[in-house]
């Protein structure tokens, strides 16, 4: 059976399951559409939250970023998992106790202001649209390779599928679909990782294989990888090469951005009790850890596999004087079919610059070591000839590079789509709820019927899918890079206002409004200043306008600074204006303090 047929079978079966669940769990009321009627079991909600959370950035892109950068990109792992601890401890149970459907609704009620609620909607839309572009990028990458269609065609197919089960099922349908998607994506991520770990290190568990030995000589896997990449002129894989300040700020931006993501927060509105919200967060961490502890091994092993493909002598030789892979081999060898497959997508490419019939892979931007320098001189090389390696292909291509069975490759294809589509559905639901519940019912048409509101929710979700697909046709970066920007925006706008809304009795509506505006505006200005005004000039956000970042702070890290600006402005403005009304102060107390706490009782 051909690989294309296997891909169709596995992807088709998974799609049929998703649509079947949506039909079975069709939402018939706004309570079911927005919050699954608050009847989801904490363990099921934890699994659905993990799928909602582990997007294309986690499944497809994160290991690729780690593969080409190494230790420095462990910030993604630390920030994204650490954020769940903040969410579980500081936000989830209190927001569930408040008992609303959406994040802007909490903001509007807590800060007794329709203006604050509308600004909350605007922030949510900016965050969610940026985030969903990353998911659609992942959908396009996966479809373009495994269904052998163009990137744009893949995007439209993915959009149609999301429309079919998200618009129909709402939160109720999405929740149970995400449970199925979690099962698919965790199997798809783990199986090839186990195969490759066994092949490279002899360890069944990739987590232990990462720190095991690479060959019978006893050389440690990471030591071997370090030796190979430095011989090629790249920076050491396990070394620290980036600004420590920027790493700390980026990690913090991912952490507080996680805790402020609207599509994740609304998942905790679906459980029956307040205590279930914290329990759900705990289970979500367990399910997330099953993938996140494997990701560093996947990144490192895919980097080694790629290098050994380009320099076959890397596996046995201490130098790279042995010939690199040739153009003729790429065209004829069965084990190099993966290169031909990915070249068609435009995400992998090469060029024989010196006409010697070989494709030389090394770093021509960093001074290479002596052995490689001599090889370059001897063979008249003119620069790295592996001209394009998109980070987003590494996880998807890894099973092919390692020559794993066709059914494993097909599972990975289904898993990549499950990861992207599960998060896309959650984001679109957050957008839909903000538009239909907070703008339409909460502002424009407060007397709208429940049936009318449900129709508005479905129409707004359909429009959101269309907009997200169009924007996904020209994404501003790799999936994880685009998503990282969304986290910075959430960190600078939503997280501070939620924290102050729960834990401060003094912050008033003026403080909340100006804090959100200052936080998200400063972050957007910084991002567009150093990443390019892509939506005006057409510049790709990957092309920095200037490398002279303020104090060495990257655009993706600025969300932490934006959050501090938000907090600072909110407190200054609040202290300069009147205190919140007494009923709002009582509301804050009721959220944080259990009923009856501190009251003396007779025994």
* Burial class of residue 568, CB neighbours in 10 A (0-12, 13-18, 19+): middle
**What pLDDT, on a 0 to 100 scale, did the predictor assign at position 596?**
44
Q: How confident is the model at residue 296 (pLDDT cuts 50, 70, 90)?
A: very high
**What pLDDT, on a 0 to 100 scale, did the predictor assign at position 510?**
97
pTM of the model: 0.83
Euclidean distance between CA atoms 207 and 205, whole angstroms: 5
**What pLDDT, on a 0 to 100 scale, did the predictor assign at position 68?**
87
Q: Which of 200-214, 363-377, 392-406, 552-566 has the lowest mean pLDDT?
A: 363-377
Euclidean distance between CA atoms 75 and 252, whole angstroms: 9
Please name which of 132, 126, 154, 171 lies closest in space to residue 21, comparing C-alpha atoms.
171
Average pLDDT for residues 509-531, to the nearest whole number? 92
**What pLDDT, on a 0 to 100 scale, did the predictor assign at position 379?**
56
Tell which wins on pLDDT, 60 or 91.
Answer: 91
Q: Which residues contact 304 (CB under 8 A, 6 or more apart)?
A: 200, 221, 224, 225, 228
Q: Which of 78-87, 112-121, 149-158, 467-476 has the lowest mean pLDDT?
A: 467-476
**What pLDDT, on a 0 to 100 scale, did the predictor assign at position 467?**
83
Tell which wins on pLDDT, 258 or 542.
Answer: 258
Consecutive H or E run containing 201? helix 168-201
In whole angstroms, what separates CA 47 from the centre of its chain?
16
Percent of the chain with pLDDT strictly greater than 90:
27
- Six token digits for residue 548: 């002279």
Q: Which of 326-330, 508-512, 574-578 has the lowest mean pLDDT?
A: 326-330
- Six token digits for residue 561: 């600074």
**What pLDDT, on a 0 to 100 scale, did the predictor assign at position 365?**
63
Q: Which of 235-239, 332-336, 506-510, 589-593 has the lowest mean pLDDT?
A: 589-593
User: What sign does the dihedral 449-450-451-456 (CA atoms) show?
Assistant: positive
Average pLDDT for residues 408-423, to the nearest whole number? 85
* Burial class of residue 16, CB neighbours in 10 A (0-12, 13-18, 19+): exposed
User: What sign does the dihedral 388-529-366-250 (CA atoms) show?
Assistant: negative
**What pLDDT, on a 0 to 100 scale, did the predictor assign at position 182?**
92
Percent of the chain with pLDDT strictly greater than 70:
89
- Six token digits for residue 594: 């259990």
Euclidean distance between CA atoms 259 and 86, whole angstroms: 6
Euclidean distance between CA atoms 106 and 124, whole angstroms: 13
Q: Which of 61-75, 176-190, 277-291, 351-365 has the lowest mean pLDDT?
A: 351-365
Per-residue pLDDT reduced to its tens digit, 126-163 = 888 888 877 777 777 777 777 777 778 888 888 888 78
* Burial class of residue 204, CB neighbours in 10 A (0-12, 13-18, 19+): exposed
User: What sign does the dihedral 32-38-41-44 (CA atoms) show?
Assistant: positive
* pLDDT surpassing 80 at residue 41: yes
The residues spanned by each domain of the chain are: 3-301+406-592, 302-397
- Six token digits for residue 335: 């084990």
Q: How confident is the model at residue 369 (pLDDT cuts 50, 70, 90)?
A: low
**What pLDDT, on a 0 to 100 scale, did the predictor assign at position 426?**
83
Euclidean distance between CA atoms 105 and 571, whole angstroms: 21
**What pLDDT, on a 0 to 100 scale, did the predictor assign at position 558?**
94
**Neighbour-count burial for 249-271, b at 16+ CB within 10 Å, e otherwise:** bbbbbbbbbbbbbbbbbbbbbbb
Q: Which of 194-208, 470-484, 507-521, 583-597 has the lowest mean pLDDT?
A: 470-484
Per-residue pLDDT reduced to its tens digit, 438-464 = 888 888 888 888 889 888 888 888 888
Tell which wins on pLDDT, 375 or 310.
Answer: 310
**What pLDDT, on a 0 to 100 scale, did the predictor assign at position 546?**
44
Tell which wins on pLDDT, 378 or 567.
Answer: 567
| Domain 3-301+406-592 fold | Sodium/glucose cotransporter (1.20.1730)
Cβ atoms of 116 and 408 within 8 Å: the answer is no
Per-residue pLDDT reduced to its tens digit, 194-239 = 999 998 898 999 999 998 887 777 889 999 899 888 888 888 999 8
């Amino acid at each position: 059976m051909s690989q294309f047929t296997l891909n169709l079978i596995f992807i088709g079966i998974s799609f049929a399951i998703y649509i079947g669940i949506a039909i079975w769990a069709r939402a018939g009321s706004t309570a079911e559409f927005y919050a699954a009627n608050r009847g989801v079991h904490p363990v099921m909600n934890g699994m659905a939250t993990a799928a909602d959370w582990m997007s294309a950035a986690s499944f497809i892109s994160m290991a690729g970023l780690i593969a080409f950068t190494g230790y420095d990109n462990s910030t993604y792992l630390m920030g994204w998992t650490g954020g769940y601890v903040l969410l579980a401890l500081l936000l989830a149970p209190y927001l569930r106790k408040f008992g609303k459907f959406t994040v802007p609704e909490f903001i509007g009620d807590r800060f007794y202001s329709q203006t604050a609620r509308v600004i909350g909607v605007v922030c949510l839309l900016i965050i969610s649209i940026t985030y969903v572009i990353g998911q659609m990028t992942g959908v396009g990458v996966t479809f373009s390779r495994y269904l052998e269609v163009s990137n744009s065609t893949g995007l439209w197919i993915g959009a149609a599928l999301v429309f079919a089960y998200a618009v129909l099922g709402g939160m109720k349908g999405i929740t149970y679909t995400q449970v199925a998607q979690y099962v698919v994506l965790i199997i798809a991520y783990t199986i090839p990782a186990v195969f490759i770990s066994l092949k490279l290190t002899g360890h069944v568990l990739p987590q232990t294989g990462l720190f095991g030995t690479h060959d019978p000589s006893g050389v440690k896997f990471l030591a071997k990888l370090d030796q190979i990449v430095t011989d090629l002129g790249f920076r050491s894989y396990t070394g620290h090469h980036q600004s420590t300040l920027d790493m700390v700020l980026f990690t913090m931006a991912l952490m507080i951005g996680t805790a402020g993501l609207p599509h994740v927060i609304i998942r905790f509105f679906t459980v029956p009790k307040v205590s279930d919200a914290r329990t759900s967060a705990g289970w979500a961490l367990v399910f997330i850890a099953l993938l996140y502890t494997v990701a560093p091994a996947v990144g490192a092993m895919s980097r080694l596999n790629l290098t050994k493909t380009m320099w076959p002598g890397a596996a046995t030789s201490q130098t790279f004087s042995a010939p690199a892979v040739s153009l003729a081999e790429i065209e004829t060898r069965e084990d190099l079919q993966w290169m031909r497959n990915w070249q068609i997508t435009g995400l992998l490419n090469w060029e024989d610059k010196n006409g010697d019939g070989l494709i030389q892979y090394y770093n021509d931007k960093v001074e290479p070591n002596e052995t490689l320098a001599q090889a370059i001189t001897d063979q008249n090389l003119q620069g790295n000839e592996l001209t394009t390696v998109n980070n987003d292909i590494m996880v998807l291509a890894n099973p092919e590079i390692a020559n794993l069975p066709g059914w494993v490759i097909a599972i990975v294809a289904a898993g990549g789509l499950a990861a992207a589509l599960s998060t896309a559905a959650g984001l679109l639901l957050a957008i839909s709820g903000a538009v239909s519940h907070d703008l339409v019912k909460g502002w424009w048409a407060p007397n709208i019927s429940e049936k009318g509101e449900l129709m508005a929710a479905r129409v707004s979700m359909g429009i959101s899918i269309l907009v997200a697909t169009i924007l996904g046709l020209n994404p501003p970066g790799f999936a994880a890079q685009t998503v990282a920007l969304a986290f910075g925006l959430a960190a600078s706008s939503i997280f501070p206002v939620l924290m102050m809304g729960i834990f401060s009795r003094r912050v008033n509506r003026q403080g909340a409004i100006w804090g959100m505006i200052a936080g998200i505006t400063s972050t957007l200005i910084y991002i567009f200043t150093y990443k390019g005004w892509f939506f005006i000039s057409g510049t790709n956000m990957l092309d920095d306008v200037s490398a002279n970042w303020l104090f060495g702070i990257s655009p993706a890290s600025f969300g932490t600074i934006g959050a501090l600006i938000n907090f600072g402005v909110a407190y200054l403005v609040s202290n300069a204006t009147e205190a919140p009304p007494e009923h709002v102060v009582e509301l804050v107390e009721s959220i944080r303090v259990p009923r009856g706490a501190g009251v003396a009782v007779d025994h």
